[in-house]
Amino acid sequence: MSRIGNSPITIPEGATVEVNDSVVTVKGKLGELSQEVKDVSVTIEDGVLRLSRSSDSKPHKAKHGLYRALINNMIEGVTKGYTRELELVGVGYRASNQGQRLDLALGYSHSIVLDIAPEVKVETISDKGKNPIIKLTSHDKQLVGQVAAKIRSFRVPEPYKGKGVKFVGEIIRRKAGKTA
């Protein structure tokens, strides 16, 4: 029994969900997202969305929970949106943006310039005495996570000093250095 797949999704006010053949489209105040659904049927009754699978085979059970989670993330994304914050820890690490172009100085001999997708809003916060923060906001959870992972991959936090690009609130496991 899939506990995630069997739980219903209540559609909040301001969001509309349409099902055409095997494509679920969600529209809200922040944008529009669509997802193709296979091996699972989607029904909408009285503002409640339910998913049901055709059989109890292992692939159908897996897709049942997967599509329920994806549709729930789409509904939450178009109503509330998703935010991911990255913190630059290290001496001389800087971030600035001009529109959708992010400029990073991460201790390399060159600065890294990254063009961010137009669906993602990027904002950089640089307060004196604090580490620079990059704030990514969008209605698409997958896209925000992908962009954040790409930025983090330029300088992954190292375990000795903790320098690098990390998520805000992430705890880096530290190692002891050399002992004399």
- pLDDT, residue 3, reads 82
The helix/strand/coil state of 54 is coil
- pLDDT, residue 179, reads 82
The structure tokens listed for 28 are 């809200």
- Distance of alpha carbon 54 from alpha carbon 109, whole angstroms: 57
Residue range 9-37, pLDDT digits in tens: 999 999 999 999 889 999 999 999 999 99
- Confidence grade of residue 180 (pLDDT, cut at 50, 70, 90): confident
Provide the residue ranges of all domains of the chain, joining segments of one domain with +: 3-79, 82-167
- pLDDT, residue 34, reads 95
- Distance of alpha carbon 32 from alpha carbon 127, whole angstroms: 34
Residue range 64-96, pLDDT digits in tens: 999 999 999 999 999 999 999 999 999 999 999
Residue range 114-164, pLDDT digits in tens: 999 999 999 999 999 999 999 999 999 999 999 999 999 999 999 999 999
Give me Rg for the CA atoms of the chain.
21
The contacts of residue 171 (CB under 8 Å, 6+ apart) are none
Taking the domain 82-167, which CATH number applies?
A: 3.90.930.12
What does the mean pLDDT of the chain come to?
Answer: 93
- pLDDT, residue 2, reads 61
What DSSP state is assigned to residue 86? Answer: E
The helix/strand/coil state of 103 is strand
Residue 108 zone, left/alpha/beta (φ > 0; ψ -120 to 50; rest): beta
Fold for the domain defined by 3-79: Outer Surface Protein A; domain 3 (3.90.930)
- pLDDT, residue 155, reads 95
pTM: 0.89
Residue 140's DSSP bridge partners are none
For residues 103 and 112, is the Cβ–Cβ distance under 8 A?
yes
Length of the chain: 180
Residue 31 zone, left/alpha/beta (φ > 0; ψ -120 to 50; rest): left
